[in-house]
Amino acid sequence: MSGPDIRGQVEALINQKIEDAVFSLLKQKLNGIADTLKLYVAATSTGDTQNMMMQFVVTNTQMVAAGQEFRNPDFQWKVAPLFAIFAQLHMVLLRDVVLNGKDWSWNAKVYASYVKLATDTAQDYAKYLDDVSQAERKRLAAQAPGSPGRHRTNLYNYWQPFEWKRVTLLSDFRILVAAMDPVAHPDPVHDLPYEDVYSEAYGTADDWDNTCRGWGEGVTTPFARPLANPSRIYVEYFNRTPRIVNVRYPAGLGPIVRGGKRGDVVGITADYKPGVETQTVTIPAPVGGARFNIVGVAIRRGSIPLALVLKLADGSALTLWDRTDLYVPMEDVPVPSGRKLTTLTMWSRSRYYNSDLGCLVLGFSRDPDDVPQRTRDLLYITATGEDDNARRVRSSGISRSLQERREAYWAWVRSAR
């Protein structure tokens, strides 16, 4: 990805401009780090331990020095995503030397110092990302609404954009950095504890009844991180919008409720009110080894959610409800990159709309079992070792074009000077 691409994406996500001078400086640093990493990778491919040790020292020294420049206190929220990218690169380097470089003829004390440096650096980088998040939260708190408001959504919708950015731009990388600690995690970590990301609140929750009050004073997101796809959704309707929506998961694999135990069924948080017409929607099991398969959502919003359509990985769609007498255009719900829909958080009933569902929040989880094909290809292209080792991971074999891309990549690496 080019510098302008990275800058544009970061600016779009944080909704703030990065000053030219600041971005230019950090881009130069990233380019310099990339060049020295290229030399290090080239050295490791030769098996020459003296060269590998020398290139590690050079690269690590440059990264330690650059680390402070990515922590500009005047722009810490704006450039934190760039710091997160840098932190990953540094941890990859440190992890490699700790796990693979013990026998490179280091002095025992020198090697031990790098082991300690790896753990200390992982902890330091994770703490910095936490500190940046807390500082931005403190800044935003000064303008936060004082109450959930009449619709019970004011507080939630005020904080939702920040939480989306915090998780996707900082928390995801923080979790990766922690998992790269070669002492705490010498083996690969297959199921990282990524946080869920949640949509804005669709609809309103004016009629906050006793059941709602038992859960809080306004819309929140109490359901998180299920271990499996929903298996079926039971709906009871009145006038084509739902009074009952029960989302069922395989036993023991549903979402964590309020940070405690897992629940197998999630319904509308409101006093009970039955519907008239009924429908049970079966969610097909994911294929290809994936854990989840709802890749998109479409909604028609009004004072209540008027329609909800789930889009599956195979291109099909499932309509849970659709009230067509109140026309509002259908819109696609933004889905955070690398995540899939896993939870429906539903609040209150609307007295005006015959006690039907009033408010909906959509939750998205990372799928640790679904590695995109592009990522699989990149892992093969950049993997060290013999082609046969990588080929054993790919049951379908390797195309000639992919082999050529791998050969071109390593020719580029070995051209480093």
pLDDT digits (tens, 9 = 90+) for 56-102: 999 999 899 888 888 888 888 888 888 888 898 899 899 999 999 99
- Quote the pTM value: 0.87
Higher-confidence residue of 275 and 374: namely: 275
Does 260 lie in the same domain as 214? yes
pLDDT score of 123? 96
Does 111 lie in the same domain as 165? yes
Does 231 lie in the same domain as 263? yes
CATH assignment of the domain containing 257: 2.100.10.30
* Euclidean distance between CA atoms 197 and 52, whole angstroms: 41
The CA-atom distances, in angstroms, between 84 and each of 17, 45, 80, 89, 305 are 18, 27, 6, 9, 37
- pLDDT band, very low/low/confident/very high, at 174 (cuts 50, 70, 90): very high
Domain membership of residue 190 (yes or no) is no
- Which of 70, 75, 104, 72 lies closest to 90 in space, CA to CA? 70
Q: Residue 205 has which token pair? A: 């929750």
- pLDDT band, very low/low/confident/very high, at 4 (cuts 50, 70, 90): very low
Does 379 lie in the same domain as 339? no
State the residue for tokens 């995540």: 339
Domain membership of residue 339 (yes or no) is yes
How confident is the prediction for the chain on average, in pLDDT? 87
pLDDT score of 287? 86
Does 149 lie in the same domain as 52? yes
Q: Kindly state the helix (H) or strand (E) to which residue 243 belongs, with its residue range.
A: strand 241-248
Does 254 lie in the same domain as 171? no
Structural domains of the chain, count: 3
CATH assignment of the domain containing 35: 1.20.190.10
Does 95 lie in the same domain as 71? yes
Q: Residue 145 has which token pair? A: 């609404």
* Euclidean distance between CA atoms 334 and 321, whole angstroms: 19
- N-terminal to C-terminal alpha carbon distance within the chain: 22
* Euclidean distance between CA atoms 93 and 118, whole angstroms: 9
DSSP string for residues in 137-194: HHHHHTT--SS-TTTT-HHHHHHHHHHHHIIIIIIHHHHHHHHT-TTT-SS--SS--P
Higher-confidence residue of 8 and 206: namely: 206
Higher-confidence residue of 108 and 391: namely: 108
pLDDT score of 412? 64
Cross-strand partners of 343: 363
- pLDDT band, very low/low/confident/very high, at 256 (cuts 50, 70, 90): very high
Domain membership of residue 186 (yes or no) is no
Angle, helices 76-100/172-179, rounded to nearest 10 degrees: 20
Domain membership of residue 125 (yes or no) is yes
Does 215 lie in the same domain as 145? no
Domain membership of residue 48 (yes or no) is yes
pLDDT score of 35? 81
Does 207 lie in the same domain as 287? yes
Does 230 lie in the same domain as 202? yes
* Euclidean distance between CA atoms 396 and 77, whole angstroms: 43
Does 409 lie in the same domain as 318? no
Domain membership of residue 268 (yes or no) is yes
Q: Which of these three, 329, 349, 366, is where a domain ends?
A: 366
pLDDT score of 18? 57
Domain membership of residue 185 (yes or no) is no
Higher-confidence residue of 135 and 373: namely: 135
Domain housing 389 = 374-414
**Taking 70 as the threshold, does the pLDDT of residue 16 lie above it?**
no
Across 47-51, 189-193, 223-227, 388-392, the highest mean pLDDT is recorded for 223-227
Higher-confidence residue of 371 and 312: namely: 312
Does 100 lie in the same domain as 11? yes
